[in-house]
Amino acid sequence: MSVSADPSASTSSLISGPVTLVVPAVAAMVRVGRLTASSVASIADLSIDDIDDIKIAVSEMITLLIQSDNRSSITLRFEVDAQSFTVEASTPSSALDLGRNDVALATAVLDAVSDRHEVAHVDDRILMKMVKTISPRPES
Amino acid sequence: MEEIGKNESIRVWIDADGAVVAVGDIDLAGGPLLDTAILRLEGSTPVVIDLEAVEFIDSSGLRSLLAASRRADARGTTVVLRKPSAGVLRLLSITGTTEQFQFEGVAP
């Protein structure tokens, strides 16, 4: 497992550059990805409700990739700006094949907890992306 | 109490009243332990699953609950969710699956 942050990439007021996490494609890593997402979102000062939604979305994305029958590693990339929190999850694959997943149920959940999500086959990887618009925080 | 098992996501046991108790996260890693406990109890009576201490659930965990509900329906009985946490109730709501279960300990 590895974690990195790219200080040269886009910035928000609290996090400079995306955070990248690479984990083995095994069930135990779903929790690792979820807790990392939660930590990054918390540092970015998102609301509890937004963080809960992001945790669910990340869990769904990692689970879909683990069960895609292309088990090797999963790369997660978290990026935050003033308006949105974006998560990309990808795994090496020769085709866009989500294998033995119940995609309909996972998609219904992703629909509910994200503002936008998509899946594509790019550069021999299955790439999933979700965007969560950050809810305005009440002024203190 | 009968300990069913625990891993990095969840701990599951069967309490003295014969209810399945799950503590932690019901996800891809936690779901199989919950399945084991539910299958241990399935008979002619309703299966009661205590979800008060479930901190997280995703569609993997929901699949375990829905499968139990389908099997219970085939036997002419039900699955009762006892004191489901807010996260459980939310996932049931957004997936439109609330009606698949009976509930105990939920404020009307």
Cβ-defined contact of B28 to A63 (cutoff 8 Å): yes
Tell me how many domains chain A contains: 1
* CATH at residue B14: 3.30.750.24
Enumerate the residues of chain B whose CB falls inside 8 A of the CB of residue A30: 9, 27-29, 58, 60
Tell whether A138 is covered by a domain.
no
> What is the per-residue pLDDT across B79-100, written as a single tens digit (0 to 9) for each?
999 999 999 999 999 999 999 9
For the CA atoms of B29, B31, B33, B39, the dihedral, rounded to the nearest 10 degrees, stands at -160
Q: Given this model, what pLDDT does residue B108 score?
A: 60
Residue whose C-alpha is closest to residue A23's, from A33, A14, A13: A33
Which member of A34, A59, A105 has the closest CB to residue B63? A105
Task: State the residue for tokens 């996501």.
Answer: B9
Residue B5 contacts A, CB cutoff 8 Å: no
Query: Whose structure tokens read 């928000």?
Result: A12
Q: Give me the number of domains chain B comprises.
A: 1
Q: Which residues of B touch A27 (CB under 8 A)?
A: 27-29
Residue A140 lies in a domain: no
Instruction: Please check the confidence at residue A71 and state whether its pLDDT lies above 80.
Output: no
Q: Which domain holds residue A90?
A: 2-133
Alpha helices in A78-124 (DSSP H): 103-113
Percentage of chain B exceeding pLDDT 90: 92
pLDDT higher than 50, residue A9: no
Instruction: Give the model's pLDDT for residue A95.
Output: 79
Check which CATH number belongs to the domain holding A19 and give it.
3.30.565.10
C-alpha–C-alpha distance, residues B22 and B82, integer Å: 11
> Does any domain span residue A129?
yes
Q: Does the structure show a pLDDT above 70 at B33?
A: yes
Computed over every residue of chain A, the mean pLDDT equals 87
Q: Domain range for residue B73?
A: 2-104
Please report which confidence band the pLDDT of residue B50 belongs to, taking 50, 70 and 90 as the band edges.
Answer: very high
Q: Mean pLDDT throughout B29-54? A: 92
Of A27, A56, A105, Cβ closest to residue B29: A27
pTM recorded for the entire structure:
0.89
In the prediction, which pLDDT does A11 show?
40
Classify the C-alpha dihedral B88-B92-B98-B101 as positive or negative. negative
User: Which residues share a beta bridge with A132?
Assistant: A85
Contact A118, A129 (CB under 8 A): yes
CA triple A85-B54-B3, angle to 5 deg = 140
The interface pTM score, or ipTM, of the predicted complex is: 0.91
Whether the CB-CB separation of B58 and B90 falls below 8 Å is answered with: no
In 3D space, the residue among A64, A70, A55 whose CA is nearest the CA of residue A118 turns out to be: A64
Q: Is the pLDDT of residue A4 over 90?
A: no
Residue B91, both tokens: 């996932």
Residue A97 lies in a domain: yes
Average pLDDT for residues B11-28, to the nearest whole number?
Answer: 96
